[in-house]
């Protein structure tokens, strides 16, 4: 089993799903994001990125990519957090607290509903995300091998790797 990161370095996005579809879709996103940045002379806002992701997935609704994208970032004008996800045909879900996707979806929902609290600082948010991810993976036989947590702040992005069971 090969482990690789399923993250797109645009805004911040996670692509849980079928590995081949993840790689194909990530390349398509990078191409169109670079094209946007060149034509508009600015970085793409998270909401715009979500719309692009949603449109790409909806175009392929009869032969979909088997992925569930997660989009997170800060609004470039207000630095307000933006978090959303889509299903495999591109139906967006924008929320103020958390979104989950992937193999241990049900376990993550339970952990996030229990541990998440509004207005946490960066360290508290990292601890909450880490505990949710590791505990949810422990309860799901298909999940594991750790994870990567990105905490996005107005002036920096912190990346930390989590180690978990390797069976």
pLDDT digits (tens, 9 = 90+) for 131-151: 998 888 888 767 767 788 888
Amino acid 167: pLDDT: 67
Count Cα neighbours of 48 within 13 Å in the Cβ-side half-sphere. Answer: 14
What pTM was computed for the model?
A: 0.84
CA 104, CA 65: separation in Å to the nearest integer? 19
CA–CA gap between residue 17 and residue 56 (Å, rounded): 16
pLDDT in tens, 117-129: 999 999 999 999 9
Q: Which residues are within 8 A (CB) of 135 and not within 5 positions of it... i.e. 6 or more apart?
A: 107, 111
Which of the four pLDDT bands, split at 50, 70 and 90, describes residue 12? Answer: low
Cβ distance 90 to 58 under 8 Å? yes
On the question of pLDDT at 116 being above 60, the answer is yes
**By three-state DSSP, how is residue 44 classified?**
coil
Where does the pLDDT of residue 59 fall: very low under 50, low under 70, confident under 90, or very high at 90 and above? very high
Residue 2's pLDDT is what?
Answer: 42
The arithmetic mean of pLDDT across residues 40-68, rounded, is 93
Contact 144, 166 (CB under 8 A): yes
């Amino acid at each position: 089993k090969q482990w690789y990161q399923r993250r797109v370095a645009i805004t911040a996005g996670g692509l849980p799903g079928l590995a081949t579809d993840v790689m194909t879709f990530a390349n398509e996103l990078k191409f169109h994001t670079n094209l946007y940045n060149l034509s508009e002379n600015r970085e793409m806002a998270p909401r715009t990125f979500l719309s692009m992701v949603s449109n790409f997935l909806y175009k392929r609704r009869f032969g979909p990519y088997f992925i569930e994208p997660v989009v997170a970032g800060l609004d470039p004008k207000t630095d307000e957090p933006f978090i959303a996800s889509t299903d495999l045909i591109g139906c967006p879900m924008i929320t103020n607290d958390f979104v989950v996707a992937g193999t241990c979806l049900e376990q993550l929902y339970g952990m996030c509903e229990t541990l998440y609290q509004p207005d946490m600082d960066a360290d508290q948010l990292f601890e909450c995300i880490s505990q949710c991810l590791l505990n949810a993976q422990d309860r799901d036989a298909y999940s594991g091998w750790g994870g990567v947590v990105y905490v996005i702040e107005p002036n920096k992005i912190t990346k930390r790797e989590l180690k978990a069971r390797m069976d």
